Amino acid sequence: MTSAMPDAEVLDATLHAALRTGGDFAEVFVEDRRACRAGFDDGRIEELVSGRSRGAGIRVRAGASVGFAHTTALSPAGLREAARVAAAAARAGGVQQPGRPLSRQDAPAPNDVTAAPDTVAKARKVDLLCTAEEAARAEGSAIFQVACNYGDSRRRILVANSDGLMSADEQVKTFFSVSVDAAGDAGKQNGRETLGHTVGFELFDTVDVADLARTAARRALRKLEAVPAPSGTMPVVIGPGGGGVLFHEACGHGLEADHIHKDVSVFAGRIGEQVANPMVTLIDDGTMSGEWGCYAIDDEGRPAQRNVLIADGVLEDYMWDRLRADREGRDASSGNGRRQSYQHLPMVRMTNTYIGNGDSDPGDIVADTPHGVYVAHLGGGQVNTATGDFVFGMTEAYLIEDGRLTAPIREGNLIGNGPDVLMLIDALGNDFAMGSPGMCGKDGQGVPVGDGTPTLRVQRLTVGGTAA
């Protein structure tokens, strides 16, 4: 951490002030974030922006009441004033509780960063955008628009609380995306490729953005030959990485402890029950090196964990933050306490959520499916966490006919129920892959997450298409 961060003496004094009116727990969360983003659209720079934000959020708990205040003033006086406001909001009243002496408890970083993006000249970042745009356009005259985006960020956090914990982390992320539009007799089609990892600019030592752009362009061109999506209930095969967002949204949110506490999840009260086909294991893992949702510590200072949520089809546990773990008498959270920024309270959030590998050859899964739909990539969707019902768009999909992939299909929807899908998975490939990086929204906060799957087959899903 840099000298801009408060030292242990200042943090200790801030926690002392937060507990002055009798709160039973206090926490200081300090954040220093730098970010750069660049946008390139139709051969010209549309955006080239750098920014920085710094501040602290202070939380005080008094029984069931929680007070919170945030400030950009990281001076001792500024932090003490924010602590006073948080304590007053918690409506604590009583004798001051002594906090434990602070002890540094850093966790190992999930990966090393060898090229900090904020030390790289902006001209090099713009060169990547130009290279990608040229490569995409070279794929065919039907391409009429190319948009490329680059982004990086460095987030330093420091967490201290009245239990004596003091821990820090630095999270560096680098992102690149290409979106290509092509036009033909059947209308317009889009192809997109997105790459993002919790690494530095060294990402581009192993990733060729021209290849990324060509993949996006070829996807758009291939979709010009798309036929209308079928409609009805049928087997659906989801490709490696392509369906992770479905399980994140339709199942993962229902396994977050705040939804369990509010009894708005179909998984409430079902620990120990079979909730999926026995071949299914669902994991949330904040320790996955380099993945979009990884970190050393969560935003409450707890080391990232690998949490098995469903093992061999049986519900093992939920995801927990500090507040919900305390309420249930657990020894510790599961490392899932996350917040968008110092201006927000932490809540239970996923990290990298995925279904583990099976043992089937992915080619055999398709060959053993006489008819249906193969989904390479899912788009956005809507989920009711209380019921698990969902609707997701298909951004790249193909017909399965006589056990073979045939024509690409125009964008349609997948409609189903998350818990039902877990039970209806009847084939699981051995080709696990993580999907594209994402931002997960919940209660007005967004945090970076990853998701993944191997190739899998769902016995029946409703496909909402336009074919007769």
Asked if residue 451 is part of any domain, the answer here is yes
Question: Domain with 189 in it: what CATH number?
Answer: 3.30.2290.10
Report how many helices (DSSP H) and strands (DSSP E) the chain contains, helices first.
10, 23
Statement to judge: residues 175 and 253 lie in one domain: no
Statement to judge: residues 251 and 213 lie in one domain: no
Task: Give the separation between CA 271 and CA 249, rounded to whole angstroms.
Answer: 20
Tell me which residue of 77, 81, 66 sits closest to 27, measured CA to CA: 66
Statement to judge: residues 236 and 371 lie in one domain: yes
CA 285 to chain centre: 11
Residue identified by tokens 């969360």 is 29
Q: Which range of residues forms the domain containing residue 277?
A: 232-464
CA 394 to chain centre: 19
Asked if residue 110 is part of any domain, the answer here is no
Statement to judge: residues 363 and 266 lie in one domain: yes
Asked if residue 411 is part of any domain, the answer here is yes
Last residue of a domain, one of 174, 194, 223: 223
According to DSSP, residue 288 is labeled -
Q: 306 is written with which tokens?
A: 């690998």
Asked if residue 247 is part of any domain, the answer here is yes
Instruction: Give the number of other Cβ atoms within 10 Å of residue 431's Cβ.
Output: 18
Q: Do the strands 371-383 and 306-311 form a parallel or antiparallel pair, or are they unpaired? A: unpaired
Asked if residue 41 is part of any domain, the answer here is no
Statement to judge: residues 12 and 88 lie in one domain: yes
Which residue type is seen at 209? V
Statement to judge: residues 28 and 121 lie in one domain: no
Helices within 66-201 (DSSP H only): 76-89, 122-137
Whether the Cβ atoms of residue 53 and residue 70 lie closer than 8 Å to each other: no
Statement to judge: residues 65 and 88 lie in one domain: yes
Last residue of a domain, one of 193, 223, 253: 223
Task: Give the separation between CA 209 and CA 204, rounded to whole angstroms.
Answer: 8
Asked if residue 239 is part of any domain, the answer here is yes
Asked if residue 46 is part of any domain, the answer here is no
Statement to judge: residues 197 and 314 lie in one domain: no
Quick: pLDDT tens for 425-448. 999 999 999 999 999 999 999 999
Statement to judge: residues 181 and 203 lie in one domain: yes
Give SS3 for 222.
Answer: helix
Statement to judge: residues 93 and 132 lie in one domain: no
Please enumerate in sequence order all residues whose Cβ is within 8 A of that of 170, keeping only pairs 6 or more positions apart, or say none: 1, 109, 113, 154, 155, 156, 157
Asked if residue 3 is part of any domain, the answer here is no
pTM of the model: 0.95
Cα-based distances in Å from 375 to 46, 82, 405: 33, 50, 10
Task: Give the separation between CA 314 and CA 273, rounded to whole angstroms.
Answer: 5
Quick: pLDDT tens for 18-54. 999 888 999 999 999 999 999 999 889 999 999 999 9
Statement to judge: residues 128 and 146 lie in one domain: yes
Q: Longest C-alpha distance within the chain, in Å?
A: 76
* pLDDT tens for the 468 residues of the chain, in order: 345 799 999 999 999 999 998 889 999 999 999 999 999 998 899 999 999 999 999 999 998 899 999 999 999 999 999 999 999 999 766 666 667 899 999 999 999 999 999 999 999 999 999 999 999 999 999 999 999 999 999 999 999 999 999 999 999 999 999 999 999 987 899 999 999 999 999 999 999 999 999 999 999 999 999 999 999 999 999 999 988 999 999 899 999 999 999 999 999 999 999 999 999 999 999 999 999 999 999 999 999 999 999 999 999 999 999 999 999 999 999 999 999 999 999 999 999 999 999 999 999 999 999 999 999 999 888 888 888 899 999 999 999 999 999 999 987 899 999 999 999 999 999 999 999 999 999 999 999 999 999 999 999 999 997 765
Structural domain count, the chain: 3
Statement to judge: residues 402 and 295 lie in one domain: yes
Tell me which residue of 257, 363, 400, 239 sits closest to 318, measured CA to CA: 257
